[in-house]
Amino acid sequence: METLQKEKYKDYFKGKTYNITTFGCQMNEHDSERISYILEDLGYTYTNEREEADFIIFNTCLVRENAELKLYGQVSSLKRLKREHPEKIISVCGCMMQTTEARQVIIDKHPEVDIVFGTKNINSLGDLIFRYLETEERVIDVSTDDVKDDFEKYNSTNNFQAYVNIMRGCDNYCTYCIVPESRGREESRRPYSIIEEVEYLVSQGFKEFTLLGQNVNSYGNNTDYDFTFPELLARVAKIPGVKRLRFTSSHPKDLSDELIEVMRDNDNICNYFHLPMQSGSNDVLKKMNRHYTIEKYLERANKLKEEIPGIALSTDIIVGFPTETEEDFQKTVEACKKVGFDSAYTFKYSPRPKTVAAKYPTIDDDIVQDRFQRLLDELYPMFNEKNAEYVGKTVEVLLESESKNNPEILTGRTDTFKLVHVKAPKELIGEFVKVKITDHTSFTISGDLVK
């Protein structure tokens, strides 16, 4: 059906452009890469100018309220554009569209949106576009197909770094989290499908790989694969041509000694671990349904530092979770000091629909803002001190892009995920280089190219 429709509309797509706006996590970014592949396969070409595009798409996030509000505002701003240019196609997809409430807002209040689809309907996007072109009526598809084992086709944002989905969904049901609602229950891809995909990407010149999952540590649970995440990670690390290997995200309750040992024993697995703590209070962790104590978390963090010297640790922290007291907050601050994080993603709690915590009474906004600022006041000097340790050292950096503020400066990452600024020719983007670090801030390090 799609092949016949592509032939029918091949002239329609000539000269057509598209623009994607992505909200949220790396998994959403990867989904946008898959969408890009489908659109370009039809004949679209990408443009940075949203209002000039013939196909405008928003890939949404539901984890934070701020992303949801931004989406509504940006879609609303296109109402006039759609009236003046009704031939343009506007689409909203992703996590928000998997929930009835958010989807209904788009359906009821945003007639300018033509195509709505969910996280598991990306492969059907071509058919959805054809259906819209045939009927000129709004198309909605949020079915819940199973995870496919064939490797995914997508347009990477560059030709040297690749995301590889190893699983989708989540079974943890943290009381604040909407992911099980928006992404569904946990499903793992078959290991040899993943390995085949990485081998193919290596053959295409990719060098750095990030294995993606809501909780990669539980990969293979409730399957007949007989393949744990540490086993999968070790197997992928052994593929010739995999220069760097990362993964995200990990749940502390499932962090095994075996995983730590695999990281320790494979030089191409990056010395960086994102380990979401969320809170330093056992009372709050219990209400969050996190299934670990802060003592267990600290033990796992210490194990990582003992087995992998020089490893960089980052985390997620929620401030102002319902029932959080000042004492609870202080326990979070103390836990951060004990770990010594290199970076952290910090959030003020916002209730998400259909979560258990949404039923809890919230804390006064002024109190939450005060705690949030005090946490940052503790964390930023910590990050600064960690980055200061790099001054005088020579590190290997994968150069990723030009600096937004100065095209003569390139940015890249160390294996510890430190953001590096260095003056270098743009021809070196996508290459590993040596950089001697001469300066730092709380968020970046910078230096000179070693020739």
Tokens found for residue 162: 């690749």
* Distance of alpha carbon 264 from alpha carbon 199, whole angstroms: 23
What DSSP string describes 256-314? -HHHHHHHHH-TTB-SEEE---B-S-HHHHHHHT--S-HHHHHHHHHHHHHHSTT-EEE
Evaluate the CA torsion angle 165, 169, 171, 176 in order and state its sign.
positive
Q: Which residues contact 36 (CB under 8 A, 6 or more apart)?
A: 18, 20, 46, 154, 155
* Distance of alpha carbon 448 from alpha carbon 451, whole angstroms: 9
- The verdict on whether residue 336 carries a ligand-binding annotation is no
Q: How far is CA 44 from the centre of its chain?
A: 25
- The verdict on whether residue 270 carries a ligand-binding annotation is no
* Distance of alpha carbon 268 from alpha carbon 271, whole angstroms: 9
Query: Is residue 318 within 8 Å of 349, Cβ to Cβ?
Result: yes
- E strand or H helix at 17: strand 17-22
* Distance of alpha carbon 74 from alpha carbon 58, whole angstroms: 9
- The verdict on whether residue 170 carries a ligand-binding annotation is yes
What DSSP string describes 376-405? HHHHHHHHHHHHHTTTT-EEEEEEEEE-SS
139 DSSP β-pair partners: 115
Q: Which residues carry a binding-site annotation for [4Fe-4S] cluster?
A: 25, 61, 95, 170, 174, 177
Q: Which residues carry a binding-site annotation?
A: 25, 61, 95, 170, 174, 177
